């Protein structure tokens, strides 16, 4: 369960961004380091466990990899459009 804390942090970050903007997040962009310990498939495995049964289950996740840099970085959030906008 080495990554549990990490995934809790991601979710609480998303929640804080929703509260701050009063908008729902529909997509999150995540960047993983190619040489980090957390590979794409491994990330997704934990991610799907972390969101299972929560309202984040339907969130779209886009993962890209970079050769150097932080092991994991949230590089972008996409919010649902406000009705009529």
Stretch that binds Zn ion, among 1-9, 29-37, 52-60, 69-77 (CB under 5 A): 1-9
Binding of Zn ion by 3 (CB under 5 A)? yes
Pick 16 or 49: Cβ nearer Zn ion: 49
Binding of Zn ion by 47 (CB under 5 A)? no
Give bridge partners of residue 66 from the DSSP assignment.
33
Pick 3 or 30: Cβ nearer Zn ion: 3
Q: Using CB under 5 A, count the residues that bind Zn ion.
A: 1
Pick 21 or 37: Cβ nearer Zn ion: 37
**Going by C-beta distance under 8 Å and a sequence separation of 6 or more, which residues neighbour residue 1?**
none
Nearest-approach distance from CB 1 to Zn ion, in angstroms: 8
Distance CA 54, CA 59 (A): 10
């Amino acid at each position: 369960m080495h990554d549990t804390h990490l995934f809790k942090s991601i979710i609480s970050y998303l929640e804080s961004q929703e509260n701050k903007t009063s908008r729902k997040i529909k997509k999150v962009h995540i960047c993983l380091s190619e040489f980090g310990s957390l590979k794409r498939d491994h990330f997704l495995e934990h991610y799907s466990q972390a969101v299972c049964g929560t309202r984040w289950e339907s969130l779209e996740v886009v993962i890209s990899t970079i050769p150097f840099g932080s092991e994991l970085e949230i590089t972008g959030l996409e919010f649902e459009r406000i009705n009529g906008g």
